Every structure is written in structure tokens, then in C-alpha cells.
């Protein structure tokens, strides 16, 4: 899969440019609406972090991997999560990147496995009415409440910049928010930054992304 090799090379080169170790950047291969064969090929080539944006899609991918005895995959839920679908996601997700409202927090806590759950708070940096996410000015307080919930581990923030805007400016704001969270939020030293997709992941890395979400640039066009 030449696309995958190209992305990994670009991640390494970009990290080197800004003096960051490439191993601190997780490449999440977004597998939504991709043929299973492509996703399995990526796993065979060493990819372990995969992202799905629907509860049903995640359930089907996890089942397909388990049927084949592929147990090392880490599944990241990156889409809008309906509270009534939390029961499908919480037991199998390595990270939930899109926690954006208190009713969802309550739904997650009701279905926590013994080991708890790692979550990121989604921030609506552009204050876009059609997009999910906590408003930037409310993100630290919301994250602080999340971190205080037993069994929930606040790991950081996720954001998707508004289409057509300068992505770097938004990425820098999320980086500053993450730095503030270290002082504001319990266990803030674990803060992660999930930002950057196929078209802007290099900008995100330069701004401190620890997780980038790359789909078509790895797998090609979706079905």
C-alpha cells in the first residue's frame, strides 16, 4: 500500500522539521466506508490504530477483526455519538474522541467496563451550528467535570477546523487550550491533541497534534 508508506514518511519528515519524535504522533487510519480488504491490508502492514465514525461501523469492524483473531487493533471512535448508541461503542473503543455534551458523558458512564474509558472532548472552534463540539470558552470547565467522573480518563481535546478557514490558526488555538488544560484539569499531564486529517495533517503536527486522523490519503476513495 504505497499511500500508507507515503503518509508515514511525511509524518516522520514533518516531525523532524519541528524537532518532535515521530513516535509521539499516532496515525489513526480512518476506515469508514472502506472495503474490509483494504483495512485488513493496512493491519498486515503494521497499522494498529483505526478510526470509525458510526456506532454500527465500529461494531462491524471490531467483529470482523475478532473473527480473524486480530486482537491488536486499537479502535478510535471519531464521529458524533448518539447517547443511545453509547452501549455499542464504550465496550470496544480504545478512545472516544467526540465527547461534546453532558448527556453523552452520563450515557458513557452507565456503560463503563471495569477498566474505565479514555475520552477526548470535542471542541467546536468555529462555533459552527451544524457541527458538534463544546464551545472553546466552555471547554476547560467541561473537561474538568469530565475528569472528575469516576472511571472516565480525560485524555485531551479533538477538533475539526471550519472548511475554508486557515487550519493552522485553529490548530494553534487547540494547542493553547491543551496547554491550559495541564494546569486546569486533574491529570492534565496526559493531555492529547487529536487534529488534522488527510488535507492538513502536516499543519496539525507542526502545531502539536498527537493523533492525526487520515482516511482517503491512506486507503483511497471511499465506497
129 pLDDT tier (thresholds 50, 70, 90): confident
Q: Please give the Cα distance from 175 to 195 (Å, whole number).
A: 10
Task: Please answer whether residues 100 and 133 qualify as being in contact, where contact means their C-beta atoms are separated by less than 8 angstroms.
Answer: yes
State pLDDT tens for residues 178-219. Answer: 999 988 777 666 689 999 999 999 999 999 999 999 999 999
Cut 0.85: pTM above it: yes
The highest-level CATH class for domain 2-219 is alpha beta
User: Cα dist. 83→53, 94, 106, 163 in Å?
Assistant: 14, 18, 8, 27
Amino acid at each position: 500500500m504505497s499511500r500508507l508508506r507515503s503518509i508515514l514518511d511525511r509524518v516522520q519528515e514533518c516531525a523532524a522539521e519541528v524537532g518532535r519524535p515521530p513516535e509521539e504522533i499516532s496515525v489513526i487510519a480512518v476506515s469508514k466506508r472502506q472495503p474490509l480488504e483494504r483495512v485488513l491490508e493496512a493491519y498486515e502492514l503494521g497499522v494498529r490504530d483505526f478510526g470509525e465514525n458510526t456506532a454500527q461501523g465500529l461494531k462491524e469492524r471490531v467483529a470482523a477483526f475478532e473473527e480473524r483473531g486480530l486482537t491488536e487493533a486499537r479502535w478510535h471512535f471519531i464521529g458524533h455519538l448518539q447517547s443511545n448508541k453509547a452501549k455499542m461503542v464504550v465496550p470496544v473503543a480504545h478512545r472516544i474522541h467526540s465527547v461534546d455534551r453532558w448527556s453523552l458523558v452520563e450515557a458513557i458512564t452507565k456503560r463503563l467496563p471495569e477498566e474505565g474509558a479514555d475520552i477526548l472532548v470535542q471542541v467546536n472552534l468555529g462555533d459552527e451550528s451544524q457541527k458538534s463540539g463544546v464551545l472553546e470558552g466552555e471547554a476547560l470547565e467541561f473537561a474538568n467535570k469530565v475528569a472528575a467522573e469516576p472511571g472516565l480518563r480525560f485524555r485531551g481535546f479533538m477538533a475539526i477546523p471550519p472548511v475554508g478557514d486557515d487550519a493552522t490558526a485553529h490548530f494553534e488555538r487547540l494547542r493553547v487550550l491543551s496547554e491550559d488544560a495541564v494546569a486546569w484539569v486533574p491529570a492534565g499531564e496526559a493531555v492529547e491533541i487529536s487534529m488534522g486529517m488527510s488535507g492538513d495533517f502536516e499543519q496539525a503536527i507542526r502545531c502539536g497534534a498527537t493523533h492525526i486522523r487520515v482516511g482517503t490519503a491512506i486507503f483511497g476513495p471511499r465506497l
